[in-house]
Structure 1
Amino acid sequence: MLLFYVDESGTCSKDDQTNFFVLASVAISEHDSSQIHTKVLSLKQSIFPSKDHDTWELKGREIYRGEGTFKKHKLESRIRIFLEISTTLNQLPCHIFTVVVNKKAFYKMREDMKDDTMLYRLTFNRLLQELDGFMKCSNESGILLMDSRSTHSSSVQDGRLVKAYRDWINSQKYDCCFVEQPWFGVSQFCLGLQLADYVAYLINLSTQQIEGKSHTVECLKAFDILQSKIHLVEIPPSEIIT
């Protein structure tokens, strides 16, 4: 069975940091999960030897911006960490799937659809199609492991995602390879979700204008390392408006 760890970057319609929404999945066979956990844990321990690995995350945004756990890291160190994560991930027995939507162009054409829920649903549906197609070609089954989108006081967003999944399953007349509806986890305690977070942020970073941003150019060498491993679907607005 395949474990599909899923996370996102650039979700909100009001997020003006990027014009793109990215939904990414790192696919790992259950047979390889133990060795991958060991290697990623070793990577984390090499970055912060004295910290408990469960107290911090491999978050692409924090590493790139020098925020949170990485606020005391110099730029050169953070760039090196970007490259180390990609190098490690490139060596792991896994697959990377991602769907990228141009939010700016989409909302310009359909202002009435400027809604985060709709954006997520449409992108999620396309990702499900890609993952299911891969499983059918590989003669595998799989399960989605999602980073919980809810706050501690609400489960509304996760509920909407489950509803979107069930609607997609119904549209396929249950002819798919997923064995169960998505499971939700806390990324702080799940290395697979941390890898998905990193990949989603890295791919979103690759869509940005980088003129005059030398550190971005250096960080994007991490994208070059992973590029051959990434199955990327770019969706123009005309393909997702229904």
Structure 2
Amino acid sequence: MLQYIYDGSFDGLLTAIYEAYYRREIPDDILSEDNPQQNLFIKKVHIETDLEKAKRVYNSIKAKISDFALQNCFYVFLSEDEYRGTVIYNYLRLGWKIGKDIDLNLSNDAVLLVNNISQKVRKEVHRMLGLIRFSQLSNGVYYSQIEPDNNIIGLIAPHFEDRMPDEYWIVHDVKRELAVMYNKKEWVVRDLNVLEEISFIDEEEEYQRLWKEYFNSIAIENKINPRLQKQHMPVRYWKHLVEKQKDC
């Protein structure tokens, strides 16, 4: 059994796919180095990330398959699925044979799997945009905490860049200790581990109380449907929702 091990980055994964092609090998798995499989019968090949090789694979996907296929691959990568590297590799091998029509072949297991995973990531991005709640810090920056299932923090940033172009803001993925930060000009993703208590403006507690009152006042008691609410706003997200904190 042959495994390629890459550094966990998207460029690292594309490099591994490049090496598989030019070495004329078909690895059984392409795994991130933080996901080692312990087996005496596995031959492990560690792939060093090469940005030029990664770029060639990136451009090849766009030119020979499609932009949508490239987006699918990136979304699967962000899913953090244990076998995402293998899933993407199998999908691309078929894509380079079929071309732009690959995603019409949903009867193929490799294509169906990629489409299912990428769709879950897309749905969480859409859902999260409606669930993010900002609070204002004492320094004037608007701050929000999230814990998404997928590593989507970079996918939600453009939305808030459009909606809040004249504010300083941070969306903090506390699960992964990552944050997207916006300075009124551009946004960047950085590591962020908050070790001390966050300081909010004095009025923030009153703002949150008013929001809770508004949320409760617009609810029509005889039409409240907890099951439907949990479908659209799963309980696992409630921890960071101002209006639901008292219920968690």
Is the structural similarity TM-score above 0.5? Answer: no
Q: Shorter-normalised TM-score: what interval? A: under 0.3
Larger Rg: 2
Normalising by structure 1, we get a TM-score of: 0.21
| Greater RCO (Cα-Cα under 8 Å, separation 6 or more) | 1
